[in-house]
Amino acid sequence: MALYRHGIYVSEQATGMIAPLNGTAGLQVVVGTAPVHLLENPADAINKPLLVYSKAEAIAAVGYSDDFASYTLCEAISAAFSVVNVAPLVLINVLDPGKHSADLAETTVQINSGVAVIEEKGVLLAEMKVKNGETELAADVDYTAVYNADGTVSIVLIEGGAGDGATNLTVSGKKVDAKLVTAADIVGGVDAATGKETGLEVVRQVYPKLGLTPGILVAPRYSADATVSAALQAKTKEINGVFKCVCIADVDSSENGATKYADVKEQKEAQALTDPNAYGVWGYCKLGEVMYSGSALAAALTAYTDAANDDIPANPSNKPIAISAMCLADGTEVLLDQDQANVVNSYGIATWLNMNGFRLWGNRTCAYPGNTDPKDSFFSCRRYMSWRANSFILTYFQKVDSPLNKRLIEAIVDSENVRGNSYVAIGAAARDEIVYLEEENPVTDLMNGKITFHQYMTPYTPAEDIEDIIEFDPDALVSALS
């Protein structure tokens, strides 16, 4: 029997517009090296995507050292959390202590108050042999060994152990050698037998494991190698078969690269930096005496600029950054004026300019000047379009396999246009509109389950060239004196 209704009733239905899922355009995915030997279980931090939201989390995930030349992930951690203050980061460490290690030459260390300090950094505790004369000491029986904050090792003798009363110890074993990490380790690959992915191939795991789409791929310092820069560019396309992102690469400024601004074009070509998804940066930066690669700081600054823009891709060029000098890879300081920096920009490469404080300087992708299409040649436009494409996939994936009817078409068009109109309203784009065109959807396609939408996007190009024409007006002088 039907329920007898008498009165006023209210019911709810699902919201017509689908809630957006953010593609996180500025998410940095950094591939490099870290002092994972400092961790209790280094294997947990080798060739795995690790998401961190703070410096403390990053240190717990991969370890930390101020030796950025050896440990490039630490450079990215410092750039993001200490210089720019932006989160999160996805860290992929390729350094394997079991593979990238060298012999520790036998050395004698003095004992003071029951403690001996090994000044050598990177010592592997599990491989360390400690002797008192000819007697080999047992770990956790005769002594305990711990890493100090600076990466050195302290050996503490246990009272009553075989080292009790000794004045010095002999130490040998193995130590981590980050110099053994090569471009091939950063590029990585897939083991045919096990399917295990390494290096840049691990980027594929970011979305399935973390539920986030990569926004910016970075391999600080290593990207100055042509093999790595080529691999970075290749990895920006068809991530997981569908997603897109950009990469930021260092233009080599070592003695074998571009040591003068006029040499940047030749070095860019030597590194084959030609992709619309690539943003090249020439020059390291100094903060006091600490050196950072250009790619690490540019990536952090780009992510920060996005975060300050409601997580919508924004233009990082001409944004200030707290550095004290620009330099080459060997630390030699470089003083660029605007004309010289503009020459670098004309090659499709960004650099650092001191104009009332240092700032990132350059709007163009590496596709410029060969490709002048705004969507490919302007970094901000390229990122906006890739971000919107990722957002469309993430938002409407839930609609795949729904009945292909008019309701589905209208739901997607209406929902996406509400979103696009909001970006137009806040000035992110001149047009962001999606339409369903019958001529692009023949009956044969519809019968086969295929539906096509057409999306028009016009992100604003940057105001790269602003000119003020100044003219002397003699009539004003006559008027003033008459």
Does residue 190 sit in the same domain as residue 226?
Answer: yes
Using an 8 Å Cβ cutoff, are 317 and 362 in contact?
Answer: yes
Does residue 197 sit in the same domain as residue 254?
Answer: yes
Residue 14 domain-assigned? no
Using an 8 Å Cβ cutoff, are 65 and 71 in contact?
Answer: yes
Position 164 scores a pLDDT of: 84
Residue 323 domain-assigned? yes
> Which of 176, 199, 214 is the last residue in one of the domains?
176
Q: How many of the other CB atoms lie within 10 Å of CB of 127?
A: 16
- Find out whether the peptide bond into 88 is cis, omega within 30 degrees of 0: yes
Residue 22 domain-assigned? no
Residue 479 DSSP one-character state:
H
Does residue 82 sit in the same domain as residue 208?
Answer: yes
Residue 13 domain-assigned? no
Compute the distance between CA of residue 203 and CA of residue 217 in angstroms, rounded to an integer: 9
Compute the distance between CA of residue 90 and CA of residue 30 in angstroms, rounded to an integer: 6
Position 6 scores a pLDDT of: 56
Does residue 215 sit in the same domain as residue 321?
Answer: yes
Does residue 300 sit in the same domain as residue 334?
Answer: yes
Does residue 354 sit in the same domain as residue 311?
Answer: yes
Residue 260 domain-assigned? yes
Does residue 258 sit in the same domain as residue 363?
Answer: yes
Does residue 411 sit in the same domain as residue 350?
Answer: no
Written as six digits, the tokens of 87 are 């989160």
Per this entry, what is the length of the chain? Answer: 482
Compute the distance between CA of residue 459 and CA of residue 122 in angstroms, rounded to an integer: 48
Residue 388 domain-assigned? no
Does residue 50 sit in the same domain as residue 196?
Answer: yes
Residue 358, domain extent: 28-95+184-379
Residue 117 vs residues 99, 109, 156: alpha-carbon distances, Å: 25, 7, 9
Any residues with CB less than 8 A from the CB of 126 and at least 6 apart, and which?
none
E strands in 289-374 = 290-292, 325-327, 333-334, 349-354, 358-361
Closest to 222 measured CA to CA, from 300, 329, 88: 329
Residues of the chain with pLDDT under 50: 1, 19-23
Compute the distance between CA of residue 251 and CA of residue 253 in angstroms, rounded to an integer: 6
Position 160 scores a pLDDT of: 87
Written as six digits, the tokens of 289 are 């005496």
Position 5 scores a pLDDT of: 61
Radius of gyration of the chain (CA): 28
Does residue 375 sit in the same domain as residue 443?
Answer: no
Helix segments in 308-371, DSSP class H: 338-346
Residue 2 domain-assigned? no
Does residue 49 sit in the same domain as residue 198?
Answer: yes
Paired strand residues for 51: 90
> Which of 128, 149, 176 is the last residue in one of the domains?
176
> Which of 379, 413, 447 is the last residue in one of the domains?
379
Position 162 scores a pLDDT of: 87
Does residue 58 sit in the same domain as residue 148?
Answer: no
Tally of domains in the chain: 3
Compute the distance between CA of residue 254 and CA of residue 252 in angstroms, rounded to an integer: 6
In this structure, the strands spanning 349-354 and 135-136 are unpaired
pTM of the model: 0.92
Torsion of CA 257, 259, 263, 265, to 10 degrees: 60
Position 3 scores a pLDDT of: 66
Domain CATH code at residue 237: 3.40.50
- Find out whether the peptide bond into 313 is cis, omega within 30 degrees of 0: no
Using DSSP, state whether 216 is helix, strand or coil: strand
Position 10 scores a pLDDT of: 64
